[in-house]
Chains A and B, each alone.
Chain A
């Protein structure tokens, strides 16, 4: 089984809809991250969390919110999706002190 899983893997939605992307990990890591990937732009950090009570904004947090329900679960929400949020979204985890991040398989989100 994969160490970092993301659901759904693909999602098509309409403008204005609320969307939640979920990430779960079995690596026992305390740090979790959400990135978005757009062609030609690399990965940009949306939010990150060092533990259940510690959540921080990344470079592009506007229009997004997160919830760290447990050490192993980190969800990303789009309260009112818009077309320019169409992208590939990745969750990642890391163990404190090593800074090596391990990525999930990604969620492809299309907002029409």
Chain B
């Protein structure tokens, strides 16, 4: 079965600084990978996804993620963080062709200091 690890429970960055959130997955074949963001009191919003093709994926709000098969990673990046990016971020892996089920990581809470 697939699994997802987000090793950082909580990260604090200064506004304007760069950001990288780590995500490692375990799955035998090429997975479908997702990053979602959850603002306080809100549902989950899709930031970006990787299905195939170019391993560098652009998303909304200036986020990008890079799929690295050799490292089983799909890290989320943003060159300059804004205070409004403070939220919880979830990485998820899906297995197409089986049951379209997602396995979520436990999340990384991002705090942005001014």
Contact = CB atoms under 8 A, between A and B. Distances in A.
Contacts of B42: 105-106
Contacts of B32: 99
B43 A99 contact: no
Nearest to B46: A100
Interface residues of B, number: 22
Contacts, number: 51
Interface stretch (B55-63, B66-74, B99-107): B99-107
A75 B90 CA distance: 25
B49 A58 contact: no
Contacts of A102: 46
Contact of B99 (A4, A41, A48): A48
B104 A43 contact: yes
Contact of B96 (A50, A92, A99): A99
B34 interface: yes
B110 to A, nearest CB: 15
A94 B100 contact: yes
Interface string B1-33: 000000001000000000000000000000010
Nearest to A102: B46
B106 A42 contact: yes
A100 B105 contact: no
Q: Top 5 A-B pairs ranked by shortest CB distance?
A: A42-B104, A103-B44, A103-B43, A42-B106, A43-B104
Given A42-B90, A48-B101, A99-B102, 15 more contacts: A4-B43, A31-B100, A40-B9, A43-B102, A45-B101, A48-B99, A56-B99, A58-B101, A90-B44, A96-B100, A99-B32, A102-B46, A104-B43, A105-B42, A105-B43
